[in-house]
Amino acid sequence: MIESPLKEKNVSTKQDPNFPVFNAMESRNHEQVVICSDPETGLRAIIAIHNTTLGPALGGTRMWMYQTEEAALKDVLRLSRGMTYKAAISGLNLGGGKAVIIGDPHTDKNEALFRAFGRFVDGLGGRYITAEDVGMEVQDMEWIYSETKYVTGIPETLGGSGNPSPVTAYGVYMGVKACAKKAYGNDSLAGKRIALQGAGHVASYFAKHAAKEGAKLFITDIYSEKANSLANEIGAEVVSPDEIYGLDVDIFTPCALGGVINDDTMDQFKCDIIAGGANNVLDIEDRHGQMLLDKGIIYAPDYVINAGGIINISSELEGYNREQAMNRTQKIYDTTLNILKYSEDHEIPSHKASNILAEERIASVARLKSKYSSKSHFSGRLGEMYMTDRR
């Protein structure tokens, strides 16, 4: 059996309180963490590279008003690890990375800040490729692109794919339908009651797909005006953020921030399915994944069904083709069903089933690293780096 490079190792400093950052990295097998500071522009950012076995680390930059540096570090480490598994389970030749910028996305944005961040990304020489995430817009990515080619999600006028949210939402929609197929014997969402947490880009596109099919949606968001606007557009009902967990619905779809499946919310769920676009929704992965299995709730691993975003932006590295990206994203339906079957066959939570399948792919490719392969340079496009410059 091939040992996965993601398996935890015994490291002497792991329990040493003098090395909290290294302990946090080693607990999840991270390769690199970069702290970025530029006082002149106000930039405070962290870039985390989790694993590059399959290729360069690709993952979005999130801008959020973290209350502490520890909270920002915890988030970027969890998110970057998720990107490794997301790329692997989606069949992409990419590793996992993520970045966070500490700041208010509504008031702290400026061109100089993002260009400073772009220079830090460029300094990594392609080990990390950034993209759009929570709190970021296409204009922000264009400013980053002014300083580095290692960025995706840039405007279509510059040869990019633009906002990846529509494709991410389509993948979530495919994943939800796969769960419905498993739970009800058919994948129709007509008449299904869906509790949608979040009214941002991904949530909005998902809501339109589900509403068009005849689903009844209940929507919440910490920004009530966003929830009201989306509800009015699709004929949904708005509920309070605290009310969303206990609704008597068929499907709970978290599309905001992570950690929402936790000890406080677990007993409130009255749904058959939990499947959404948010990352890291299991607060304590093994504990809460097992609890969902024990309750008989079908759970679609978040990094599986929200992989449409990385599938979309990875297409930029080969020369963007929207139809090809959508076709690849549609395969999330079959991937989800395969994971749910593996989970059932082995009587393990679905997140463990997904992790095992992803780790098997990474381990098999890691074995090939011992084979020499010369590097061919033939195209001059960014995809050349993606396809041939891996080590």
Instruction: Assess whether 98 carries a catalytic annotation.
Output: yes
Q: Both tokens of residue 136? A: 């970021």
How remote is the C-alpha of 134 from its chain's centroid?
A: 10
Number of neighbours of residue 34 by Cβ within 10 angstroms = 17
The active-site residue, picked from 9, 14, 98, 270, is 98
Cβ atoms of 19 and 13 closer than 8 Å: yes
Tokens 């006082």 sit on residue? 39
Q: Both tokens of residue 11? A: 């490291």
Q: Both tokens of residue 64? A: 């959020």
Distance CA 213, CA 129 (A): 36
Q: What would you report as the CA-atom Rg of the chain, rounded to the nearest whole angstrom? A: 20
Residues 6 or more apart whose Cβ sits within 8 Å of residue 107:
none
Which of 161, 209, 216, 163 is closest to 333 using CA atoms?
209
Residues 6 or more apart whose Cβ sits within 8 Å of residue 52:
31, 95, 127, 390
Give the active site residues. Answer: 98
